[in-house]
Amino acid sequence: MSFTLKLITLIPAIVFLIIGIGWVLTPESVAPNFGMTVFTGLGLSSQIGDLGSYFISIALMIIYAVKTNNVNWLYPPILLLLLTALFRTLATLIHGAPFAIDMIASEIIFSGILYSAIYKSNDRE
């Protein structure tokens, strides 16, 4: 993976790492960005645990892929992001949730960046 490709690939990782750390340390500042309020009790535990681990796991897999030059580590984050976009769409279609076009677009764009890194890396081999 070229230096430029590594930098571009790390952009989503940095974004997700910041969001994940935000969920762990200051959920009250991150929750409104996702249309949520901070829950209490077990709900708070679920928000911090589930969402913190989701974002930090994606970030760590991307960072590991870049560090080791093993683009296979980019497939799991792509899968998670595209499933998130799909489930957001299903939430609208099945449950009448507002269509989160900005969130879906970012998930698809970040997936595209990661897939592009895989494609360009495989192209050089």
| 86-116 pLDDT, tens digit each | 999 999 999 999 999 999 999 999 999 999 9
**Predicted pLDDT at 2:** 87
Taking Cα atoms as reference points, which of 86, 83, 82, 85 lies closest to residue 103?
85
97 token code pair = 């949730």
> Residue 116 is which amino acid?
S
**Predicted pLDDT at 122:** 75
Place of tokens 């081999």: 125
> Residue 108 is which amino acid?
I
The secondary structure of residue 33, as a DSSP letter, is G
Instruction: Give 66-77 pLDDT, tens digit per residue.
Output: 999 999 999 999
Q: Give the range of the structural domain holding residue 41, as residue numbers without chain letter.
A: 3-124
**Mean pLDDT for the stretch of residues 36-43:** 95
Contacts of 93 (CB under 8 A, 6+ apart): none
Residue 16 near residue 52, CB atoms below 8 Å? no
**Predicted pLDDT at 124:** 58
The secondary structure of residue 32, as a DSSP letter, is G
What's the structural domain count of the chain? 1
CA 65/CA 46 separation, integer angstroms: 28
44 token code pair = 């708070």
